[in-house]
Amino acid sequence: MPTAREALLEAALAALTGLPWSAVRMVDVASAAGVSRQTLYNEFGSKEGLARALVRREADAYLQGVERVLAAPAPPRRNLAAVAEWTVSEAFTRPVLRALLTGCWGERLPTPRPARAGARASAVPAQRRADAGVPSPADLLGLARDRAATVLHGDEGDVRRSCEVVLRLALSYVVAPTPVVALPGSVEGQWEDPESWSPTTPTITSVIDTIFSVDTTSPRKIIP
């Protein structure tokens, strides 16, 4: 059974599917989670605190997902390709994660403003961590790269570089996606169903195979 905090975060995320963050009301979030409004304020302190916690949870979920995908019993290059594919898919279905990865925060999303200087620290440990701030796109990519290198049992420079190139390749598909085909009943600018992105998989896998086959120690060889 989810905790009150998790239920509130889920309710806030669900509210974003139909409303911009500015229109999401704390009382409605508390009601949807089945807890009192006071419980919500006890956990997050304010609506801005709730926003920071929501964004922090998305960042943590992404990093945990990277580790989970890489833990599959498969060759390193196959697992890195899977991480790239998974990153693209998750970014298109999770707008807060997409904003975290790209740094593009639309007006519909909870912009993670830092806690006010001198503000009293929250009594809730998880909220203190959220109030400390969320990673920038570069920070998040670096954290994912380091976790990938650790899971692949390599901390040498070439392993870390390969992991970073793979993640940047995935982000290129997030920032500049393949053309969206209009779907019946879809709203202009709406993303396609995730199944329609499958044609990108061979491309990502092919480039990753190239990355692993290139000898990057030679100054005359470069990654295409």
Percent helix, strand and coil across the chain, each to the nearest 5: 60, 0, 40
Residues 103 and 136: their CA atoms lie apart, in Å, by 7
Residue 216 has a pLDDT of: 46
CATH ID of 45-213, from 3.30.160, 3.40.1350, 1.10.357, 1.20.120: 1.10.357
Residue 223 has a pLDDT of: 36
Residues 165 and 70: their CA atoms lie apart, in Å, by 16
Kindly report the CA angle at 125 between 46 and 131, in degrees rounded to 5?
45
Residue 70 has a pLDDT of: 87
Residue 158 has a pLDDT of: 72
Please, is 112 exposed, middle or buried when counting C-beta atoms within 10 Å of its C-beta (0-12, 13-18, 19+)? buried
With beta carbons less than 8 A apart as the criterion, state whether 26 and 36 touch: no
What count of residues does the chain have? 224
* Strand, helix or coil for residue 13: helix
Residue 81 has a pLDDT of: 85
Residue 29 has a pLDDT of: 96
pLDDT tens digits for the chain (224 residues)?
779 999 999 999 999 989 999 999 999 999 999 999 999 999 999 999 999 999 999 999 999 999 999 888 888 778 888 888 899 889 888 999 999 999 888 889 988 888 887 778 889 999 999 999 888 999 999 999 888 888 877 656 677 788 888 888 888 888 876 655 554 554 444 444 444 444 455 566 676 666 666 544 444 444 33
Residue 190 has a pLDDT of: 45
Region of 45 please: left (phi>0), alpha (psi -120 to 50) or beta: left
Residues 71 and 78: their CA atoms lie apart, in Å, by 11
Integer CA distances (angstroms), 98 to 101, 118, 155, 216, in order: 5, 31, 28, 30
- Helices marked H in 152-213: 157-175, 200-213
Q: Domain extents for the chain?
A: 45-213
